[in-house]
């Protein structure tokens, strides 16, 4: 075995002599020990007080094993013996490693500490009522936020590691007695198959979980708040937490999830229902409004009511562009402004958006380049896109496509595009869950929490559209019904068992004469054999005995 000092130096060399790798040599008497760790990712105070200080105070390491140091010398409970093959990985993850002479293994102290955000309200999921905690980049904190809410023995957490170079830890969280086992297995298989050098965000994992990764539509849900994640887990979904990402993935996903806000569950049902209808109207407006405006103005102006037509014609006189080019020009202009305001520093961004939206828009109208209705239509569709923040990228792309189709084929083109869109979505499945459920296929039970939200007391069962193993979620009348169902099931089972027994009896009865015949024939044959060859028969009997 090589010298301890060279071993430690070799380890540092293997890590390309990185400057943040710290080696501490502790010399007490003849025997030395080495402690090696990476600066910046360890809890320095804990390392100094509980690990290094006792080691310095100790008189001699002669005849000391790693087990002795772990149990007797160091005042630190979160320590473990690490095999040689895992040494490098654990060092990189933030362990402080202690080496002694004569032992290839190392003693690892879990002093991992990464600086990160504290738990705060996520900016895209702000609520008026309800909890305001949001996920952060630290996986342990994220798991604890869920554990805090789901105090349940059935909450199962499974650890996976993805990324050859990042070794990102991924955790699957689900309720063992509710989540569908097949889906859990499918998710695990898909994650285990990922062969990538690095995973920096949950988005990476999400892409691998999708059945159609080239589709513009999301097939994996996401959330930034633990209360939302918990509600999804309670419905039978699986949450996937990725280290370093504040976005938690959930599967399976249905399209209408994005119409539901966490606010809906902390306010009156009628208010939630009204808001959901508004969201649907907003989505329709954002996708169809520019295309419809172009189609009506270019091809179907006759079908507009007369007064409306006069107003539009008056305001669009003497424009240099036709409506198609006009709307496309405004859409592009607004999208550029939006991108610019996102990329710029916060206060400059506000100024840019004001200049762009108000001054540039108004000046363009006054200069006669674009019309008032055109600006209004694009602005309305632009605002309504962000009513569903999770769908904004898809919706803005669809808006552009529908504007193009409306300009080329008119209303007929819009219908064609809509049919294709709905047909495509109807063909979509996310982990055995129809994407457009509970609308198509229609699931009557799930209508309680679809467009119209019913009172919490009426939502006694889990959504049928999400595969799960326990239908009932609330202990009231439904439970009684469940018991009754179980009783009915038992009765049915008994009946079927009786049927089966009867049938088996009848089969046996049918077979009886044949059996009896065969037995009697056997006896006859035996007797004949006895009479013909008495010696053989005796031998056979002996053999049987």
Partner 1 sequence: MKKLITTRQLIFILLISLCSLKVLFLPSLLVKEISRDSYLFFFIMLLLDFLVLLVFLLLSKKFPELSFYEIMQKFFGKVIAKIIMTLFCLFFLTKCWAVFQSNYIYLNENLHTSIQWYTFSIPLLIVVFYMSTFGVNAFARLIEIMFPVVLMGFLLSFFIGLFRADFTELLPICENGFFTNFSTIYRFSFWFGDYLIFIVFLGNIKPDKKFNLKIVISTLVGIVMMTVFMMIVFSVFSYSTVCHTNSISDIMQILPSSSDIGGFDWIIILIWDIGLFLYFTLNVLGAFYCIRQVLPKFNQQIIVCILLAIILGANLFSHFDIIHTVEIIKQYVSYFSIAMQYAFPILFLLFSFFNKSDKNAKNETGNFSSDPLGDKSKNKGEIYKGKLQPKIKQSDSIKQLVNIKSKVNSKIKFCITSKKKEQKC
Site residues for partner 1 per CB under 8 A = 180, 182, 299-300, 303-306, 408-413, 415-416, 419-420, 422-424, 426-427, 432-434, 436, 439-442, 464-465, 467-471, 489, 492-493, 496-497, 499-500, 503-504, 507-508, 511, 514-515, 518, 521-522, 525, 529, 536
Shortest Å distance, C-beta 464 to partner 1: 6
Residue 523 C-beta: closest distance to partner 1, Å: 11
Integer angstrom CA distances of residue 507 from 500, 511, 521: 10, 6, 21
* SS3 (DSSP) at 241: strand
Q: What would the DSSP string read from start to end of 25-91?
A: EEEETTEEEEEEEETTSB-HHHIIIIIIHHHHH----TT--HHHIIIII---SSEEEE-GGGHHHHH
Q: Which is nearer to partner 1, 164 or 498 (CB)?
A: 498
Helix H or strand E encompassing 439: none
- Which residue in this structure is represented by tokens 């738990």? 119
Distance of closest approach, residue 343 Cβ to partner 1, in angstroms: 37
- Separation of alpha carbons 255 and 402, rounded Å: 20
Question: Strands 79-82, 106-109: parallel, antiparallel or unpaired by DSSP?
Answer: antiparallel
Indicate if the alpha-carbon torsion angle 293, 294, 299, 301 is positive or negative.
positive
Which residue, 355 or 440, has its beta carbon nearer to partner 1?
440
Token look-up 């982990």 returns 431
Residue with Cβ nearer partner 1 (304 or 360) = 304
Task: Determine the Cα–Cα distance for residues 95 and 51; give it in Å rounded to an integer.
Answer: 12
Rounded to a whole number of angstroms, the minimum distance from the CB of residue 225 to partner 1 is: 27
Write out 147-169 in H/E/C secondary structure.
Answer: HHHCCCCCEEEEEEEECCCCCEE
Shortest approach of partner 1 to residue 75 CB, angstroms?
Answer: 52
Q: What is the maximum alpha-carbon separation in the chain?
A: 125
Distance, in Å, from the CA atom of 87 to the CA atom of 79, rounded to the nearest integer, reads 13
User: Given the complex with partner 1, which of 134 and 438 has the nearer CB atom?
Assistant: 438
Distance CA 401, CA 408 (A): 11
Q: Minimum distance between the CB of residue 408 and partner 1, rounded to whole angstroms?
A: 8
User: Minimum distance from CB of 520 to partner 1 (Å)?
Assistant: 12
Nearer to partner 1, 422 or 480 (CB): 422
Cα 254 from Cα 276, distance rounded (Å)? 15
CA distance 40 to 112: 9
Q: Which is nearer to partner 1, 365 or 411 (CB)?
A: 411
Best CA proximity match to 35, nearest among 105, 92, 93, 108: 108
Q: Rounded to whole angstroms, how far apart are CA atoms 468 and 178? A: 5
Shortest Å distance, C-beta 435 to partner 1:
9
Residue 112 burial (10 A CB sphere; 0-12, 13-18, 19+): middle
User: Do 470 and 463 meet the contact criterion of CB atoms below 8 Å apart?
Assistant: no
395 closest CA partner among 299, 251, 279, 297? 279
With respect to partner 1, which residue has the nearer C-beta, 161 or 311? Answer: 311
- Give whichever of 45 and 533 is closer to partner 1, judged by the CB atom: 533
> CB of 493: closest distance to partner 1 in angstroms?
5
Q: How far is the CB of 401 from partner 1 (least distance, A)?
A: 13
CA distance 195 to 161: 11
Smallest gap, in angstroms, from Cβ of residue 241 to partner 1? 25
Q: Which is nearer to partner 1, 339 or 522 (CB)?
A: 522
**What is the distance between the alpha carbons of residues 483 and 491, in angstroms, rounded to a whole number?**
12
């Amino acid at each position: 075995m090589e010298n301890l000092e060279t071993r430690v130096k070799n380890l540092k060399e293997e890590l390309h002599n990185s400057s943040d790798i710290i080696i501490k040599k502790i010399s007490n008497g003849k025997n030395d020990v080495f402690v090696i760790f990476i600066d910046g990712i360890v809890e320095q105070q804990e390392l100094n007080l509980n690990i290094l200080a006792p080691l310095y105070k100790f008189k001699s390491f002669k005849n000391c094993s790693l087990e002795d140091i772990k149990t007797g010398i160091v005042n630190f409970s979160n320590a473990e013996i690490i095999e040689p093959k895992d040494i490098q990985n654990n060092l990189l993850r933030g362990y402080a490693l202690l080496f002694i002479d004569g032992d290839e293994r190392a003693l690892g102290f879990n002093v991992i500490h990464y600086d990160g955000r504290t738990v705060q309200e996520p900016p895209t999921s702000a609520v008026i009522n309800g909890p305001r905690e949001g996920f952060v980049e630290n996986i342990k904190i994220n798991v604890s936020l869920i554990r805090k809410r789901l105090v349940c023995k059935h909450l199962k957490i499974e650890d996976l590691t993805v990324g050859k170079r990042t070794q990102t830890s991924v955790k699957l969280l689900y309720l063992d007695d509710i989540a569908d086992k097949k889906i859990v297995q499918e998710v695990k298989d898909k994650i285990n198959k990922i062969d990538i050098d690095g995973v920096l965000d949950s988005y990476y994992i999400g892409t691998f979980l999708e059945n159609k990764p080239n589709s513009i539509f999301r097939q994996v849900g996401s959330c930034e708040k633990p209360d939302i994640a918990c509600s999804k887990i309670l419905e039978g979904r699986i949450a996937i937490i990725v280290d370093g990402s504040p976005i938690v993935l959930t599967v399976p996903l249905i399209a209408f999830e994005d119409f539901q806000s966490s606010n809906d569950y902390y306010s009156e049902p009628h208010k939630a229902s009204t808001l959901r209808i508004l969201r649907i109207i907003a989505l329709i407006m954002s996708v169809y409004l520019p295309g419809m405006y172009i189609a009506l103005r270019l091809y179907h102006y006759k079908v507009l009511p007369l007064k409306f037509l006069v107003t539009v014609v008056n305001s669009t006189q003497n424009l240099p562009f036709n409506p198609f080019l006009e709307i496309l020009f405004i859409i592009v202009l607004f999208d550029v402004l939006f991108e610019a305001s996102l990329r710029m520093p916060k206060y400059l961004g506000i100024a840019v958006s004001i200049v762009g939206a108000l001054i540039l828009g108004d000046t363009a109208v006054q200069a006669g380049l674009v019309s008032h209705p055109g600006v209004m239509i694009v602005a309305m569709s632009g605002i309504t896109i962000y009513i569903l923040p999770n769908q904004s990228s898809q919706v803005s792309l669809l808006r552009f496509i529908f504007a193009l189709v409306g300009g080329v084929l008119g209303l007929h083109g819009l219908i064609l595009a809509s049919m294709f869109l709905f047909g495509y979505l109807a063909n979509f499945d996310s982990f055995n869950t129809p994407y457009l459920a509970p609308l198509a296929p229609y699931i009557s039970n799930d209508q309680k929490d679809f467009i119209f939200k019913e009172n919490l007391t009426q939502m006694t069962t889990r959504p049928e559209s999400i595969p799960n193993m326990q239908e009932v979620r609330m202990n009231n009348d439904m439970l009684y019904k469940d018991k009754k169902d179980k009783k009915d099931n038992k009765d049915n089972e008994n009946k079927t068992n009786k049927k089966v027994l009867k049938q088996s009896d009848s089969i046996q009865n049918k077979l009886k004469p044949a059996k009896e015949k065969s037995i009697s024939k056997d006896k006859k044959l035996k007797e004949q054999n006895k009479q013909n060859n008495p010696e053989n028969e005796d031998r056979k009997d002996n053999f049987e005995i």
